[in-house]
Amino acid sequence: MAAGAAVTAPSRPISPSKTSTSSNRDARHRTPPRTIRTTASAAASTIDTRAHISNLERVLLKTAPHPPSLFPSISSDHTATSFSSSSTTNNNLLHALNLSTLFSSIRSSYANFTGAEEVSPRGLAQLQRLLSDSSRPSPKSSIAYRWRLLHGSRNWSGLLDPLDENLRRELVKYGDLVQAAYHTFHSHPSAPPSRPRHVILPDRNYSVTKSLFATSSVDVPSWLEPAASAAPQWMTQPSSWIGFVAVCDNDREIARMGRRDIVIVLRGTATALEWYENFRTSLQPLPDEPNAKVSSGFMSLHKTSPGTDVPSLSTMVVDEVRRLVDLYKGEQLSITITGHSLGAALSLLVADELISNIKNSPPIAVVSFGGPKAGNKSFAERIEKKGIKVLRIVNTHDVVTRVPAGIPVYGGDHKNGVGKWLGSHVPAGMDGYSHVGTELRVDNRASPYLKPNADAACCHDLEAYLHLVDGFMGSSCPFRSNATRSLVRLLSQQRPNMKKVYVNRALSSGNRVRWEGTRASARLYCEPVRLNWSIDEH
């Protein structure tokens, strides 16, 4: 089913300032990646940055009073909805379907952690820019001659620690596409598959070619029926819009990237039945390789079709990508699959399906954010043997990236997801869940803006992930002081988890952030500098 034409926001991107650093960018790419700073230089930088943060916060605390709150209370995880966050009753079990209640808050001995205090913007001007949503993108130089490396041909060896600046920009780009999938779904979650979706993409170089739907094979369990009767219809509908297929169709961008990129974008958990499928953790063998097994819940969402009018997610993706590969036959192509949370797990199943069903498939890479384990070790080995490159972006304190952690035991009613857990580790020689691919690990405690004891929902939030990726330089490096991503959306969603000194500064600077949600649209306004992120159904 073809999606509606992609609509782009009218705002004009602001180019990075031309400095001596940017002018020598091409020369840097022709030399080996720079090594991480030595202990001595890191110590000197720590003293320098501590002085900066001390001076800056002293100024902020003097000039930033504590005005009344202008930020509404908003669920910090995209998988939560206004339905779950606005309820005050305890008898509706569906209201528990968000990370802040499913997982206990991660509160520990972070109070003494000082690393997050060691870096700050170098002045009030930069802080003001970050709080006004006037951020500039990371360097956008040509990557045509090295796109295969950035796409994972060598498993991103030498590009992650320290993080290559062009790879950083590509990762944030894919994360923003997943954000667009979230916004599109929540703009009209109950829209049926027969209704076209209009997706606003943050990157104007891509156009949506196909809407994607995922279907659950289970019914609402009897113990949830009383709660389900009071819930919005979209929370319990079997089929839901879960993402889209897009293709780069801008000639200049194709030349810059060195190929035409086909991207499959998948959002995370949003409905009650999707949550229920998440907990169906029995390992199910793949038809063509019984030793390779995946979560029965993920397989259900991947393979189930509600009827002849709406094919399964698997069929929709394969048919559309095959069509695009045939359409652009003879061109240099790549396939990138990106997703967050549930979407990250489904990305692996989609990648396996594509390479198994498309002859002479272009290079396939998976870029995932906060993904759980999807299958066993044999499934991970199957993915690697087929040449699929997987880059998992993981926050050290994200609980979701550690599950499932036990061994699902067979013998129960697998259709209804009945299973038991044995311990939290997989003993040697026994079958259990395993991660796949290369890992890029970030840490929310490294951010100078987030509290070191940020809760579980913040640690899993996609916008928090993109904030951390934008500021990550290397495992032994501090948060980069010249990070370019605006803090406006992070403030609107994670205010309780951000340090008060920056929240107060945002409030006192004249910025005003509010969230307006209706059935037809979801808009994030930032004033006096306005970001109009609007997804409307027509």
| Residues known to be catalytic | 341, 398, 460
Separation CA 390–CA 355 (nearest Å): 13
Question: Residue 438 is encoded by which pair of tokens?
Answer: 């290369």
CA–CA separation, 141 and 26 (whole Å): 8
Contact 322, 452 (CB under 8 A): no
Residue type present at position 526 = C
Q: How far apart are CA 356 and CA 139, in angstroms?
A: 36
> Which candidate, 378, 389, 326, 399, places its Cα nearest to that of 355?
389
What residue type is assigned to position 371 of the chain?
G
Classify 485 in phi/psi space as left (phi over 0), alpha (psi -120 to 50) or beta.
beta
Q: Exposed e or buried b for every residue in 267-306, given b needs 16+ CB within 10 A?
A: bbbbbbbbbbbbebbbbbebeeeeebbbbbbbbbbbbbbb
* Contact call for residues 349 and 381 (beta carbons, < 8 A): no
Residue for token digits 């969402």? 301
Contacts 24+ apart (CB under 8 A), 90-97: 91/227, 92/227, 92/230, 92/231, 93/223, 93/224, 93/227, 94/224, 94/227, 94/228, 94/231, 94/235, 94/272, 95/227, 97/272, 97/275
Q: Are strands 389-395 and 438-442 parallel, antiparallel or unpaired?
A: parallel
Q: SS3 for 44?
A: helix
- Distance between CA atoms of 364 and 36, rounded to whole angstroms? 30
Count the Cβ atoms, other than its own, within 10 Å of residue 396: 13
The H or E element containing residue 200 is none
3-state per-residue secondary structure call for 384-437: HHCCCEEEEEEECCCHHHHCCCCCCCCCCCHHHCCCCCCCCCCCCCCCCEECCC
Of 373, 427, 426, 376, the C-alpha closest to 404 is 373
> Do residues 72 and 515 make contact, with C-beta atoms less than 8 angstroms apart?
yes
Residue 240 tokens, joined: 């839901």
**Would you tell me the crossing angle of helices 313-327 and 342-357 to the nearest 10 degrees?**
50
CA-atom Rg of the chain in angstroms: 23
DSSP for residue 526 = E
Write the single-letter amino acid at 419: G
Torsion (CA) 70, 73, 79, 82 in degrees, nearest 10: -100
